Structure 1
Amino acid sequence: MQNYLEFNFKIKPLQPWNEILMAELIEIGFDSFTEEYDGILAYIQKELFKETELKSLDLLNNPEIEISYTSAEMPNINWNEEWEKNFSPINIEDKVSIRAEFHEPQNLPTEIIIQPKMSFGTGHHATTYLMIQQMLDMDFNGKKVLDMGCGTSVLAIFAKMRGAADTLAIDIDEWSVENSGENAARNNVDFKVELGTADNLGKESFDIILANINRNILISDIPVYIKNLNENGELLLSGLCFFDVDDILEVCYAENLKLKKKIQREEWVSLLLEK
């Protein structure tokens, strides 16, 4: 077990800024959240926390929003126990269930079983939901797939369930890499998991690239994805707020990608593009 810091953020107005704050906090190392009626509780490993990074977040310096916070050290949290308290099954269009082993089966056509541990991507976040929703209409049969910023590897698992061939999952977080391998075994699928970034890709090519990350990383890495995307390949993106879309599309159009489908859930957006 590792020592964590708990931050209690009070946010006015709450929506949509609570979700946007979580996205910014993830970028500086926060990895777990609980939504409150007036804000969020956010958690980060004590050794990873840097106060200068927190104070420099755009949202904390936005005069249109009131955000205050307090913090306390939370030693020896049993995170598996915490996840079990807060993780409920997810139903995506009555077609896909994402649940933990301790939940009862949901009797949907596809069931993904995960033990999320510390990793982001249980399906509760709107962006994961949007990615699965888009994937329902995509052809994965025999395709080579990349899950970039994989978290729990829900997306890689679902791609394999839909017939994907060789699949690679990459994340910068060691917890995610370990958890991804465990979740793959739980769902009787097999794919490669690596610790790293887009720099890992080298000259490897893919038919489908899935990237549910965040705006800044996507803007930086989309040109790399395109180099590793086969002709007529598909790039599926999320981790985007509605006001990020124009900036992302500008980068994509500069790389001659075509927008095939855009869907939105709450303030979050997913984009499906084709090379």
Structure 2
Amino acid sequence: MSRAFIREDYLKVEITFEPVLPAREVAIGWLSELPFEVFESTEHGVIVYAPKKFIKQNELLQIKTNLEAIAAVKWKESIVKTENWNAAWESDYEPVNIEGRAMVRAPFHAAPPSGLDIVIAPHMSFGTGHHDTTWLMIRMLLNLNVKGKKVLDMGCGTGVLALTALKLKASFVLAIDIEEGAFENTRENAALNGFENENRLCVKCGDVTLLKEHHHHDVILANINRNILLQDLASYDDVLTTGGNIALSGFFTGDVHVIQEAIKKLGWESLEVSESDGWACILCGKT
């Protein structure tokens, strides 16, 4: 799920609801129509970030008003200065443990005593393991046998899934993101994990059209959003080998049936659906 590298001041909106559901899911749906780039679910609501210059206050105010019609809302806006971002995430960033099998951590955290060690310096790209969809995708990846297989990570963000696949002994990983900042961040994180000159890793900046140059992937990982997934599923089908697997996330549990209908039309089999805090992940197989 790609998110832009932070190069300007960001608007941070912290929202809490009473009751939290379904207001939080409705809020994320509405706010995703605006240029918000990072969504963090919290126990009582959501925190969202967007480049300040892209947000129209009248549109944001209208969403706030609409939300107040379905729940009691507490709303706080603040600005995250570009130069303060690293200090902000370093003070809050905690390692993410995926069932004791893998840890996603910042460079300043101690390595885990066992399991995969994945080092991520996010720089506002999406994919630190803190978001439910990233956690679901990493767990799904850990359950797949990718050793010796070719893996495609679409919307790679920080590169966390691509790097996990490499550490699971994939034979080759192609990581693609439409954002230049995510492309740069993935390359930086590759170096942090010892893959700076790794010939098994190819990182590219672009969209699904790049797949015309790269055919035949055994495993595809796509943690993006519902609309992009639905738009690009046929392109994924073109490059997924028969017998291969594709893991999809970046959508809500309420969207699972929509994704599954699209999967069915491609002749894929839905093998597993997992959920976390309103978000979903689907593992499919191509027969």
TM-score class normalised by the smaller sequence? 0.7 to 0.9
Instruction: Say what the alpha-carbon RMSD is for the aligned residues.
Output: 2.8
CA distance in 2, matches of 1:59, 1:148: 35
* Bigger mean CA deviation after superposition, 7-16 or 219-228: 7-16
CA distance in 2, matches of 1:55, 1:165: 49
| Residue 174 of structure 2: aligned partner | 168
Task: For 2:240, give the aligned amino acid.
Answer: L
Q: Shift of the alpha carbon at 1:100?
A: 0.7
Task: For 2:210, give the aligned amino acid.
Answer: N
1:251 and 2:262 are equivalent in the alignment: yes
Alpha-carbon spacing, 1:265–1:10, altered in 2? closer, same or farther (3 Å) = closer
1:106-133 CA-to-partner distances (Å, cap 9, x unmatched) read 2122110111111111001111111111
TM-score (normalizing by structure 1): 0.88
Q: 1:193 aligns with which of 177, 198, 203?
A: 203
Q: Shift of the alpha carbon at 1:70?
A: 5.4
How many pairs does the alignment contain?
Answer: 275
Structure showing greater relative contact order (alpha-carbon pairs closer than 8 Å, 6 or more residues apart) = 2
| Residue 89 of structure 2: aligned partner | 83
Task: For 2:273, give the aligned amino acid.
Answer: K
1:146-197 CA-to-partner distances (Å, cap 9, x unmatched) read 1111111110001011111221111122221111001011112332222222
Does the residue aligned with 2:214 lie in a helix, a strand or coil?
Answer: coil
Unaligned regions of 5+ residues in structure 1, if any? none
| Residue 114 of structure 2: aligned partner | 108
CA distance in 1, matches of 2:87, 2:100: 28
Contact 1:4 1:77 in 2 (8 A): no
| Residue 142 of structure 1: aligned partner | 148
Contact 1:20 1:241 in 2 (8 A): no
| Residue 226 of structure 1: aligned partner | 237
Q: Shift of the alpha carbon at 1:101?
A: 1.1
CA distance in 1, matches of 2:235, 2:76: 39
Aligned residues: percent identity?
A: 37
CA distance in 2, matches of 1:219, 1:59: 30
Contact 1:209 1:229 in 2 (8 A): yes
| Residue 17 of structure 2: aligned partner | 11
1:71-90 CA-to-partner distances (Å, cap 9, x unmatched) read 45454442111111111011
Alpha-carbon spacing, 1:82–1:150, altered in 2? closer, same or farther (3 Å) = same
Does the residue aligned with 1:180 lie in a helix, a strand or coil?
Answer: helix
CA distance in 2, matches of 1:108, 1:39: 34
TM-score (normalizing by structure 2): 0.84
1:263 and 2:269 are equivalent in the alignment: no
1:156 and 2:158 are equivalent in the alignment: no
* Bigger mean CA deviation after superposition, 118-127 or 258-267: 258-267
Alpha-carbon spacing, 1:166–1:235, altered in 2? closer, same or farther (3 Å) = same
Q: Shift of the alpha carbon at 1:31?
A: 3.2
